[in-house]
Amino acid sequence: MIYDSLDTIPYKIFFKIADTGNVKLLSDTEENAEVLLETWSKIYEDHISREKTTSAEKKAFRLSKEIDSLEVQYKVTLMACDALRFDFNEELCQLLTKDYGFKLRTIDEEVYYQDLLQIEREAKAFKVKIGTLKKHLPAVEEGQEFSVDDIMASYCSILGYQIGDFNSITYTAYYGYEKQVHLKIESLKKQESKSKK
């Protein structure tokens, strides 16, 4: 199974992926990193297109997406170099030269291995860029923090009923409950102001 929309992804898993970048949490069957990253991008784009999303959240998403892409490129580059040391593979060579823009000459064995070493050194630039981009992500505020479980428990208290297993409540269901909580609070405020008059 793969979580491929806001309607299916559990709320807690959505934010665990947003916090850690671990897109493997999207599926217990799909292992292709590019497919998972593309699926996550679609889900997160749906998230930021919601009406309450701020420009800061949109910027953070774009940065996170670029960071994830660079991390995949970095890992693929190193794995390709390792594989090419043992056996030449035309597809891996094309990936490094055509897709990623590295220079890999196959005219001479010594030059070939020197180029592989050079590619690995140049790939470290991905890590530097990732570090630079991470500095532009918004800092996590410290202080009075509440977990998702704390928030869901407070929703149960306000609504007066159990909203379900906190681990399986989907993203869209969570926001449905949140809306109900806000409506109930507004209703209580109106009742309180009427009783004071």
For 90-96, the CB contacts below 8 A with 24+ separation are none
Q: Which of 12, 49, 45 is nearest to 150 (CA)?
A: 12
Long-range contacts of 125-131 (CB under 8 A, 24+ apart): 126/70, 126/71, 126/73, 126/74, 126/77, 127/74, 129/70, 130/67, 130/70, 130/71, 130/74
Closest Cα partner for 85 from 74, 73, 96?
A: 96
Q: Judge contact between 77 and 123, C-beta under 8 A.
A: yes
The span from the CA of 2 to the CA of 8, in Å, is 9
| DSSP code at position 9 | S
64-121 pLDDT, tens digit each: 778 877 888 888 899 999 999 988 889 989 989 998 889 999 888 899 999 999 999 9
Of the chain, the percentage scoring pLDDT greater than 70 comes to: 90
Q: Is the Cβ–Cβ distance between 154 and 184 less than 8 Å?
A: no
The contacts of residue 136 (CB under 8 Å, 6+ apart) are 63
pLDDT range class, residue 144, cuts 50, 70, 90:
very low
Q: Which amino acid is at 132?
A: T
pLDDT of residue 69: 77
| Distance set, CA 97 to CA 23, 32, 80, 126, 173 (Å) | 27, 22, 11, 16, 46
Give the total residue count for the chain: 197
Task: Report residue 120 as tokens.
Answer: 């690995």
Q: What residues contact 26, with CB distance under 8 A and at least 6 apart?
A: 2, 3, 4, 9, 13, 17, 36, 39, 40, 43
Domain ranges in the chain?
64-139, 148-196
20-34, 57-71, 159-173, 174-188: the lowest-pLDDT one:
57-71
